[in-house]
Structure 1
Amino acid sequence: MKLTRDELIQSVSAQMPEKRWRHTEGVMQSAVLLAKRYGADPVKAELAAILHDVAKYWPSERQEQLLRDKGLNDELLLYDKPLWHAEIGAYVAEAEYGIDDEEILNAIRYHTSGRVGMTLLEKIICLADYIEPGRDFPGVDHIRRLAETSVEAALVAGFDSTINLLVARRQIIYPLTVLSRNDLVKQLELEGEL
């Protein structure tokens, strides 16, 4: 089902509280800005941003059922529920909204965890989710400053923030997040930025 931009926004925004939609609007704004700054496609960036949290407020039972029944990454069931919506969101973007661009789907799929070998669009959506104007957490201004000159350095700082928070809370860390962070550090080392 192909929708216009406005129809897509109407459909996605109806699936979340107004506050979360304001977050999504901030991610859209940040993603387009980052895409223009770093040479990614701003249309794809906005589309991925619109859809990145489409399933975030679906009941856990519904998300779990989709992970099990649709052959999705059910390994996520071993980790915190906030990780699930990214995988579900990519599925929904394709199955219900007709998005067939693998780069957009992966940007949605990996916006919470990252992955080794992230594309520029994947990095941008993940980073936009961290730095959108409504975000307010310790270190966010530092991440925003880094984002002005390096997507990778900003994402490392974002992942460090997430990992440190999970450690402080004695929560399980999804291994892909650590691998993603380490891959970005290696990229920065190769480019002489560390």
Structure 2
Amino acid sequence: MIKDWFYDKLKSDIGEGRYNHSLRVMETSKDLALRYGCSVEKAELAGLLHDCGKFQGDINLLKVAADFDIILDSVMEKNVQLVHSLIGAVLAEREYGIEDKEVIDAIRYHTTGREHMSLLDKIIYIADLIEPGRDFPGVEELRKLAYEDIDSCMLEALDHTIEYVIQRKMLIHLDSVKARNQLLIQKNIE
């Protein structure tokens, strides 16, 4: 359950711009949860806190991860912008008192996805990508697809993200590849 103090703490920690993004992700998550029969309370909570590990200012996320005893794989070490999701999962638990594993996992995997994603995982990943403040080629199609077929949208969202990462000559996290492959296998079975 979202407590009133979450809003002030989050805004102070991540800054106004990212805070406003988080509010939009929370609302989009709620809408998707209503559409697909997922817990609205969990979707709002995970949507609000999904970026709680993205601090404002010049913070060394690798050092924060080490301070929290988070073990990073080689891709995370080289692709530091992914690390905030792992830090966020720890912060959600330690500083916001979140005990629900499903909410914590949705925060943890909102940047990479993972094999056998829960409905909440998919909702948070997609909501982060399609919230109304996002503007990139193909976002309108993703927004439409999100309310038609969440698995097809998740597959398209992963494709979009992987293409983006490839274009920038960055490392692709194995969790994203596994998530995509599992969705493709699932679609071919149906």
Paired residues of 1:73 and 1:87 also in contact (CA < 8 A): no
The equivalent of 2:123 in structure 1 is: 124
The equivalent of 2:112 in structure 1 is: 113
Equivalences for residues 1-194 of structure 1 within 5 A: 5-57=3-55, 59-61=58-60, 63-75=61-73, 77-191=76-190
Q: Distance in 1 between matches of 2:146 and 2:186?
A: 16
Corresponding residue pairs, total: 188
Q: Distance in 2 between matches of 1:151 and 1:30?
A: 13
The superposition leaves residues 25-47 of structure 1 with CA deviations (integer Å, 9 ceiling, x where unpaired) of: 11001000000110110001101
Q: CA deviation at 1:127?
A: 0.8
Percent of counterpart pairs with the same letter? 39
Structure 1 stretches of 4+ with a deviation exceeding 4 A read none
Paired residues of 2:2 and 2:45 also in contact (CA < 8 A): no
Paired residues of 1:111 and 1:122 also in contact (CA < 8 A): yes
Unaligned stretches of 5+ residues in structure 2: none
SS in 1 for 2:54: coil
Paired residues of 1:31 and 1:128 also in contact (CA < 8 A): yes
Task: Please tell me the residue identity of whatever aligns with 1:131.
Answer: I
Q: CA deviation at 1:166?
A: 1.4
In the superposition, the TM-score normalised over structure 2's length comes to 0.92
Unaligned stretches of 5+ residues in structure 1: none
Task: Please tell me the residue identity of whatever aligns with 2:64.
Answer: L
Paired residues of 1:25 and 1:50 also in contact (CA < 8 A): yes
SS in 1 for 2:70: coil
In the superposition, the TM-score normalised over structure 1's length comes to 0.90
Structure 1 residues 134, 118: CA separation in 2 closer, same or farther (over 3 Å shift)?
A: same
Q: Distance in 2 between matches of 1:11 and 1:26?
A: 17
SS in 2 for 1:74: coil
Q: CA deviation at 1:60?
A: 4.2
